[in-house]
Amino acid sequence: MQGEFGELIASFPAHARRSTGMARWLSMQVPMCHRVTAGVRAQGDLSGVFGAFPGVEGLQSFLRAVAKMKVPKARLAQCAAAVDELQALIEHSGGSQRRLVAALIALEAGPANAQQPRGGRGAAAGDRQPLRRLFEGAAELLGCQSRLSVAVRVYTPAKSPAFAGDLDVTATVGRIGFVRSGASMPFVLSYKTDEGPTAAQELAAGAGGHRLLEEFCSSPMPRVTCDFRHGVAIEIVDPAFECSAPVDIFAGPFKSPNVLVREDEVSYLNSSIVVSHPSERVVSDVYLPRSVAGSLECTAGVYHHGSMGGLSGAPSRRWFDRLPIALTPTLLGRGLANATQPAFAGHGKLTARIFEAAGVDPSEYVGIRMDVHYPLLYAQHVLSFEFAAQG
């Protein structure tokens, strides 16, 4: 699949080899072209590769559009044969692409997966074992860990835009299944925001001045204090807090205006999460207006979190601190139909809560997800969006 479709796309005109230009050339929707290019670029486990590609019907519609253009017929036929093989595999694996991916995940999680030889590229080749060993070592050293780190961000048209097409954001961050020893590093949640601690917020939050989504937090809830420094809200759990069971804590909703970076004729949005403690998994969801989602390029990457600070502007300019770990974003589609996830039963409800805080209708938004197993500690895991500037 990757080889045949990769060669087909390589035969396209240069301006049509990325999803936005490809969609214009083929008169198709950008998300479908993005799914095809994401499948070609995907690295890692087979489940991730097959999950990145669109379904059989989507691939067939893509090939029908390509057939109208001047491309080598032999390459088109090879792609069609690959899709036929995929359809036969899906029928053999339960009748749907989702069941095929689930079967692959089960195989990858089995004992045989641990016996596969590792190549020199390690995690970049899809082998999670090096990252898992890093996670286990860091958890032992730092005395804490969580089962899941979560971020949900809803980007809305800016109320006071710095330029045409600018966006505001409403977001939450959280940790699920957090455990710690008495001597471990503290539990900290942080998020960039322009909302300082007003008197009304402090009154509503109580003496601690925290900003928690209490309906998603564990009970009894630990004492949490909030500090605002240089545009960052920092939630710190009482270091003396002890609980016999793992703790779930969610902070927010936080809001920040005018989050796009504009350079020349391109606007950039970089949505990142930095894992501040050993976490088994990160799920970071971004929701964009349909009008924006239909004309953007989306990529994902891991960057060193050092003195350069947060990623801003064109990701290609930060090639020197991008790490060789492959990430493949997943298109959730429109609305909240696919907002749920097995690792956190309340994820759909949490997403609906952030949309409520943002004051917009989810049916007019498109979701993109970054799902990372054993994320690298203190690294920026970034969903990057690039689209033509307006005005």
Contacts of 249 (CB under 8 A, 6+ apart): 174, 175, 178, 187, 189, 212, 217, 218, 221, 222, 224, 235, 237
What is the sign of the dihedral through the CA atoms of 218, 220, 222 and 228? positive
25-34, 237-246, 331-340: least confidently modelled range: 237-246
Q: Kindly report the average pLDDT of the chain as a whole number.
A: 81
Q: Are 130 and 138 in contact (CB under 8 A)?
A: no
Q: Which pLDDT score, from 0 to 100, does residue 183 have?
A: 65
Q: Which two tokens stand for residue 215?
A: 């309906």
Q: Which pLDDT score, from 0 to 100, does residue 97 have?
A: 72
- More confidently predicted of 265 and 306: 265
For residue 226, what are the β-bridge partners?
235
Mean pLDDT computed over 9-16: 88
Q: Which pLDDT score, from 0 to 100, does residue 281 have?
A: 94
Q: Which two tokens stand for residue 373?
A: 């197993």
Question: Three-state SS for 94?
Answer: coil
The fraction of the chain above a pLDDT of 90, given in percent, is 30
Q: Which pLDDT score, from 0 to 100, does residue 63 have?
A: 93
252, with CB counted inside 10 A (0-12, 13-18, 19+), is: buried
Radius of gyration of the chain (CA): 22
d(CA 391, CA 389): 7
Q: C-alpha distances in angstroms, 39 versus 13, 113, 299?
A: 19, 22, 12
Q: Which pLDDT score, from 0 to 100, does residue 124 have?
A: 42
Instruction: Characterize the bridge pairing of strands 281-289 and 148-157.
Output: parallel
d(CA 365, CA 292): 9
Q: Which pLDDT score, from 0 to 100, does residue 387 have?
A: 83
Q: Which pLDDT score, from 0 to 100, does residue 199 have?
A: 38
Mean pLDDT computed over 12-27: 86
d(CA 26, CA 340): 32
Q: Are 265 and 389 in contact (CB under 8 A)?
A: yes
Grade residue 263 by pLDDT with cuts at 50, 70 and 90: confident
The fraction of the chain above a pLDDT of 70, given in percent, is 80
Residue whose token pair is 């909030």: 226
98-102, 163-167, 264-268: least confidently modelled range: 98-102
Model-level pTM? 0.67
334: left (phi over 0), alpha (psi -120 to 50) or beta: beta
d(CA 378, CA 94): 40
